Amino acid sequence: MEENISKALEVLRSGGLILYPTDTVWGIGCDATNPEAVERIYKLKKRKDKHSMIMLLDKPDNVMRWLDRVPDMAWELWDVSDKPLTLILDGARGIAGNMVPEEKTVAIRLVNNEFCRKLIHKLCRPLVSTSANISGEPSPARFSDISPAIIAGVDFVVDESMEEKSATHKPSSIIKLVQNGEIKIIRA
């Protein structure tokens, strides 16, 4: 694991893209504070909507570093969720501008995959997570589902052995918390 983390860190710190397993599906990632790297992901995925990628964090303590405030409901939802949960929250700060829509929201997931947690901890920044597919195509549940174009478009591919048996092999649930206290389920 340490060798994969070391190589992934080198690539991320130099503005590169990685292909890696998460607690859900395989993802394409980069340093979420690097706008050039974020733009490379949009191009690789052929994505037109440029504000719908998730940001992974390793632990709850780091959420406040990237948001103006976190509503109590967010902590409660993360606490009670029994599967990977992404929350869209207001007040994004410090991340690449091309990841943040006009309303200054950001999608955050506290990741459970050990490789991801250790990588994010050592990177000291959030990690972009978007499914490893061309926009409009199915999300790759396993490494064998990833198209050769995606594999060729990244700078480092994490070893398949880093995929945990506990991975759900399907995208996370997404809930948007609006400032007025409204909760909107985006993906169940």
Domain boundaries, the chain: 2-187
CB of 147 within 8 A of CB of 141? no
d(CA 137, CA 134): 6
Would you state the pLDDT for residue 182? 83
Query: Tell me: the pLDDT tens digits for 160-188?
Result: 988 888 889 998 999 999 777 788 999 98
Would you state the pLDDT for residue 52? 74
Q: Please, which residues have CB within 8 angstroms of residue 49's CB and are 6 or more apart in sequence?
A: 135
Would you state the pLDDT for residue 127? 98
Would you state the pLDDT for residue 51? 67
Neighbours of 24 (CB within 10 A): 25
User: Helix, strand, or coil here: 39?
Assistant: helix
Q: Which residues of the chain have pLDDT under 70?
A: 50-51
Element (H, E) at 7: helix 2-13
d(CA 69, CA 3): 36
Looking at 3.90.870.10, 3.50.50.60, 3.40.630.10, 1.10.10.1200, the CATH number of the domain 2-187 comes to 3.90.870.10
Q: Are strands 26-29 and 127-131 parallel, antiparallel or unpaired?
A: antiparallel
